[in-house]
Structure 1
Amino acid sequence: MSRTTPAGSTGEASDVPAHTAARRVPGDAPHANRWTVLVVLCASLLLVAIDATVLHVAVPAVSEQLRPGSVELLWIVDAYPLVCASLLIMFGTLGDRTGRRRVLLFGYAFFAAASALAAYAQTPGMLIGARALLGVGGAMIMPATLSILRHVFPDRRERALAIGIWSAVAAVGAAVGPLVGGLLLEHFWWGSVFLINLPLMAAGLIVGRWLLPESTGDRRGPWDVLGAVVAAGGLFGLILGVKHAGGGHPFSPGTIVPLTAGLVLLGVFVRRQRRRTYPLIDVRTVARRAFGTAVGCIVLTVLALVGLALIAAQYLQLVLGFSPLQTGLRLLPLSLAAIAAGLVGSRLLRLLGPRCMVGLGFLLTIVAVICLTGLGQEDRPVLLVGGFVLLGFGLETTLFGCYESMLNEAPAARSGGAAAVGETAYQLGAGMGIAVLGSVMNAAYAPGVRDVPGVSAVAKGDASHSLGEAYGVAAQVGGSAGDALRTAAREAFVHGMHVTLIASAGLLLLGALAALRLPRSMDDGASGGADEQDAADGTTDEEHGTAKDSERAGQDGWDEEPAVAEGGGDRRAPASVSGRLPRQADRSQERAGAVPHAPSAGSGNGSGKGSPSGNGNGRGHGQKQGDGSDLLPSGTTRP
């Protein structure tokens, strides 16, 4: 056998073919400056997360200066999350093809330019356009940070700690956005909430170009432009419909039409991905039990987080009478608890495993919302702080376990698309939180202001929309009737908050039950995890291509590394698995002993490698004749 020297070696002989050695699967070895890379990624993510909520406290100032109509004001607030959520899959998969750092740096530039445009907007339309551009930049940044993190932290234990810090930063950014906005608005004009992005994004461009490593995923085949556009349109319609339903119009054409169109387009997208040889999103990955469960738990967690945060902000400002700055300070324990959960998350994951960790997070959150039902019209700081600490720790624990499980299930070569799915789930959960819990809140609140004596039916109808409108109506009515309406509205809001908290506890209980589908420990299925699906990608090629395509797919899917077997001879092991935990790598080498050479056309293993005509060599269980297409990624047969 000819001996070749892989790129980057010092002359030591190896059996690795030169053309294969040049195409190492991303994530083979840990990056030397990975912790510095994590700091850069978290700094950029923090800005994106802050920008999602910082405008909320600036809405009154924007309304006073730009005089937008009600529809324009709605689009000023919603343009950013709508555009961002719609384009996550597009830019996440584009990063896998063209380079994740490249997409991230373009995102920095877009975000900085859009921030400057928003800060000096002179008309509502100009501000809406700037917010939409911010969404484009955010969609470039968010999945790129997570996929680069997946690349520079191939070891699962280190990656778990990195994901904990990453997810804590995301939670903190969303929570401190109103606090940052309140501080800026006390000293500057409303545009200052956008200008803070400029120097930080400029620094990110310089530091990112210098420190961040470039990485790409599976670049075989063309990028599915049409599929990306269909996915963006479907997500835009779906999230727009959900947000419109949360505004109190669940059965109006403005809700039904975009929801229907979005669902149809997403159905077309899924069907298209199933049929393509090189899909944007591998449906097999999404269908994996742990991956799909983690995504669903993310939706439920964020649904509770955003819905409860919105209600908490209104409670603190409108019922207890706190200023925006005081409100941000009262919410600070939630952020600090989230940071703590992120920092200890990797240790908890090793101790408890994904299933127990996510379940524990849901249970802590349930206890927190039940405790918060003890809040009333008087300030109870101890109960408030205790509830927020439990809430922040529980929610962050859940998000940590979900993101770690999801990213571990995703092939390294497609981590951008997987990260985009997770971030889309986050945005969808945020929209559903406002829609679902907002609807529950309105249904419980409205009856409490309809029986106030001395107030006209029209005034009662206006007051039933929200507590803020009730205060405005009460000021117009004046006198004892106005005072009675104000008191009734406060009582109704507190009652509605209690009902909403109980409803959210029920949703969180569903999440705790769903968590039972996650792996029991970090090692469960690890040996047959995501990276082996990289090696198994030849299955798709064989199903849709020729024997020649199958052979090429086998070469692309397997980067061979010499692994010493017990007998002393060289054995082949998937390079993408060698960067895993030592225990997992050892198991991979043991299994590789049964595969002395890389698979070629006409032979295959239980992971789905080889041609349909080959015999399937299982990994000790679940063996089955054929092409292995009916095997789960872990190697077990489907029921």
Structure 2
Amino acid sequence: MTSTPTAPGSGASSRSLLVPLALAQFVCSFAGSNMNVMINDISEDLGTTVKGVQITITLFLLIMAIFMIPGSKLTDRWGRKRCFLLGLQLYGAGAVLSMVAPGLGILILGNSVLEGVGTALMIPPVYIFATLAFRDTVSRARAFGVISGMGGIGAAAGPLIGGLITTAISWRAAFFFQTIVIAVIILLSRRIVDPIEPNADRPFDTMGAVLSAAGMFFVVFGILQADNNAALMAILLSLGVLFLLWFVAHVRSWERAGKEPLLSSGLFRDRTSNLGLVTQNIQWTLLMGTSFVVAVFLQTERGYNAIETGVIFTPATVGVLVSSLAAERLAARRSQKLLIVTGFVVTVIGIATLLALVRVSSSVIAFGPGLLLIGLGLGVMLTPSVNIVQSSVPESRQGEISGLSRSVSNLGSSFGTAIAGTILVADLVSGNRSYVLAMAALAVFALIGLAAAIRLPSSTRPGPAR
């Protein structure tokens, strides 16, 4: 008997489609956090500094954000499956190059550039496939719960898995692990069928892609200069803002001319979707910011090695896992707004607990309660935010909203590493003081996210794409 390709439709085919999609989100999120526990090992092996590794991690997250929207538009032109597979291949090549990197420059090329671009091509199709394959409320909530949950678990478990691999073998073996996962995803994806025929004649807004990429790059790279040169930081931030304003003017000009810009301004006319995007951005700012700050503090101030640092993150991993697994039941019983508000409240309490206990105790156990609460809070709201945003637009715009949603999330990840990380790295010699300031900055972001969540409509439940 011959097998048939996997396409949206039956329950069995949809479930088999979900496995490679969830694994893809897992490995990309894992890549964003697992290097945090390898900072000392990489620095010593490659002859670089904590700042050098921070730049590598931040650039990976930033390049994902920069190219996520162009990548989503290319899914319409090249096809969702083709972009997905091309992204996997680029990511795999980057992992192999990172594994054998003789210096920081090659590591940046492999990890930051190739893995970053690869992720930007493969992740938009993940959410497009899921949206089109799962059309009813319950199944879509389940699908987004699995995919977003695997993303949260990948980010939370990154330090633990990375620490185990680094201590047992080498930091380079962590990239070999990623290569194996990518190979498995490619094998599982062979039978996927693109649900929508690609349109090779569909125009692509190159100018818009360049302007948006330049704007985001200069903003984040400017933040990274905060501890080195205030004047340079101001110049870069100003350039970033100017490029983003130019991008907005370009979009409006193209729309007035009847052309299709990189990103339709109509995507920002839905208040619920806008608030959902804000909550997504801040959730990943908190997740990646906490991961980087705590990992660097433990290694540079407390002298912990990779495995000890990774083990300390176990409560956060457990918290994300537990709340993600409960996402489906919670979505059926509670409004999306309630889940997101609750998640931010628990996360704020977790950050406060982390600050309070670590200030009064040098014990490893002092990190546990706070990290557990942060993991529980973030895990419970990752899925509702995705549901709200993806379900807010019709099928014809799923490519655009998937790219925008993922870009906003990855921009949040880069903000977390850049802003909180820079506060910490700028004054590592002060020990607890710099750690407290960095975590306090994340607490402010959490309160902003809570304010946005409170403004969401009360009846925000996931629904079918219009």
What one-letter code is carried by the residue in structure 2 that aligns with 1:177?
A: G
Match of 1:164 among 145, 151, 164: 145
Structure 1 residue 175: Cα displacement: 2.2
Match of 2:124 among 131, 134, 143: 143
The 1:381/1:439 distance shift into structure 2, 3 A limit, reads: closer
- The reply to whether residue 423 of structure 1 matches residue 411 of structure 2 is no
Task: Provide Cα deviations, 1:427-459, integer angstroms capped at 9, x if missing partner.
Answer: 2222322444456668xxxxxxxxxxxxxxxxx
1:214-293 maps to which residues of 2 (within 5 A)?
A: 214-216=194-196, 219=199, 221-245=202-226, 247=227, 249-253=229-233, 255-256=236-237, 258-272=239-253, 274-275=255-256, 276-293=258-275
Structure 1 residue 257: Cα displacement: 5.2
CA contact (8 A) 1:337 1:393 kept: yes
What one-letter code is carried by the residue in structure 2 that aligns with 1:378?
A: S
- The reply to whether residue 196 of structure 1 matches residue 177 of structure 2 is yes
CA contact (8 A) 1:358 1:515 kept: yes
Give the TM-score taking structure 2 as reference length.
Answer: 0.87
2:96 maps to which residue? 116
1:388 maps to which residue? 371
CA contact (8 A) 1:243 1:431 kept: no
The 1:412/1:33 distance shift into structure 2, 3 A limit, reads: same
The 1:308/1:55 distance shift into structure 2, 3 A limit, reads: closer
1:298 maps to which residue? 280
Corresponding residue pairs, total: 455
- The reply to whether residue 52 of structure 1 matches residue 32 of structure 2 is yes
Cα distance in structure 2, aligned partners of 1:315 and 1:64: 17
Structure 1 residue 106: Cα displacement: 0.8
Cα distance in structure 2, aligned partners of 1:496 and 1:353: 38
- The reply to whether residue 34 of structure 1 matches residue 14 of structure 2 is yes
CA contact (8 A) 1:372 1:383 kept: yes
What one-letter code is carried by the residue in structure 2 that aligns with 1:223?
A: F
- The reply to whether residue 466 of structure 1 matches residue 427 of structure 2 is yes
The 1:403/1:202 distance shift into structure 2, 3 A limit, reads: same
Deviates more, 1:499-508 or 1:171-180: 499-508
Structure 1 residue 326: Cα displacement: 1.6
1:13 maps to which residue? none
Match of 1:372 among 354, 358, 372: 354
Match of 1:83 among 60, 63, 67: 63
CA contact (8 A) 2:40 2:50 kept: no
Cα distance in structure 1, aligned partners of 2:93 and 2:280: 31
1:186 maps to which residue? 167
1:226-625 maps to which residues of 2 (within 5 A)?
A: 226-245=207-226, 247=227, 249-253=229-233, 255-256=236-237, 258-272=239-253, 274-275=255-256, 276-375=258-357, 376=359, 378-380=361-363, 384-438=367-421, 465-467=426-428, 470=429, 489-490=430-431, 493=432, 495-522=433-460, 530-531=465-466
Structure 1 residue 248: Cα displacement: 5.4
Task: Provide Cα deviations, 1:326-356, integer angstroms capped at 9, x if missing partner.
Answer: 2211111111211221121232223221221
1:173 maps to which residue? 154
Identity %: 24
CA contact (8 A) 1:338 1:393 kept: yes
Cα distance in structure 2, aligned partners of 1:281 and 1:89: 8
Cα distance in structure 2, aligned partners of 1:300 and 1:401: 14
CA contact (8 A) 2:58 2:414 kept: no
Which runs of no fewer than 5 residues in structure 2 stay unpaired?
1-6
Higher gyration radius (CA): 1
CA contact (8 A) 2:98 2:107 kept: yes
1:62-77 maps to which residues of 2 (within 5 A)?
A: 62-68=42-48, 75-77=55-57
Cα distance in structure 2, aligned partners of 1:270 and 1:152: 31
Structure 1 residue 243: Cα displacement: 3.5
- The reply to whether residue 209 of structure 1 matches residue 190 of structure 2 is yes
The 1:391/1:306 distance shift into structure 2, 3 A limit, reads: same
Structure 1 residue 522: Cα displacement: 4.4
Task: Provide Cα deviations, 1:395-428, integer angstroms capped at 9, x if missing partner.
Answer: 1222221111001112223222212111211222
**Could you say what secondary structure the match of 2:334 adopts?**
helix
The 1:112/1:310 distance shift into structure 2, 3 A limit, reads: closer
The 1:344/1:374 distance shift into structure 2, 3 A limit, reads: same
Deviates more, 1:347-356 or 1:326-335: 347-356
**Could you say what secondary structure the match of 2:169 adopts?**
coil
Cα distance in structure 2, aligned partners of 1:279 and 1:218: 18
CA contact (8 A) 1:240 1:258 kept: no
Task: Provide Cα deviations, 1:583-605, integer angstroms capped at 9, x if missing partner.
Answer: xxxxxxxxxxxxxxxxxxxxxxx
CA contact (8 A) 1:96 1:414 kept: no
Cα distance in structure 2, aligned partners of 1:126 and 1:523: 45
1:557 maps to which residue? none
Bigger helix fraction = 2
The 1:413/1:144 distance shift into structure 2, 3 A limit, reads: same
Structure 1 residue 315: Cα displacement: 4.0
Higher-RCO chain (CA-CA 8 Å, sequence separation at least 6)? 2
**Could you say what secondary structure the match of 2:391 adopts?**
helix
What one-letter code is carried by the residue in structure 1 that aligns with 2:406?
A: E
Structure 1 residue 105: Cα displacement: 0.6
Deviates more, 1:66-75 or 1:129-138: 66-75
1:460 maps to which residue? none
CA contact (8 A) 1:227 1:280 kept: yes
Cα distance in structure 2, aligned partners of 1:158 and 1:32: 12
Task: Provide Cα deviations, 1:84-132, integer angstroms capped at 9, x if missing partner.
Answer: 2211111111113322111111111111122222222334433322221
Structure 1 residue 296: Cα displacement: 0.8
The 1:98/1:304 distance shift into structure 2, 3 A limit, reads: same
The 1:404/1:251 distance shift into structure 2, 3 A limit, reads: farther
Cα distance in structure 1, aligned partners of 2:298 and 2:103: 32
The 1:434/1:356 distance shift into structure 2, 3 A limit, reads: same
**Could you say what secondary structure the match of 2:459 adopts?**
coil
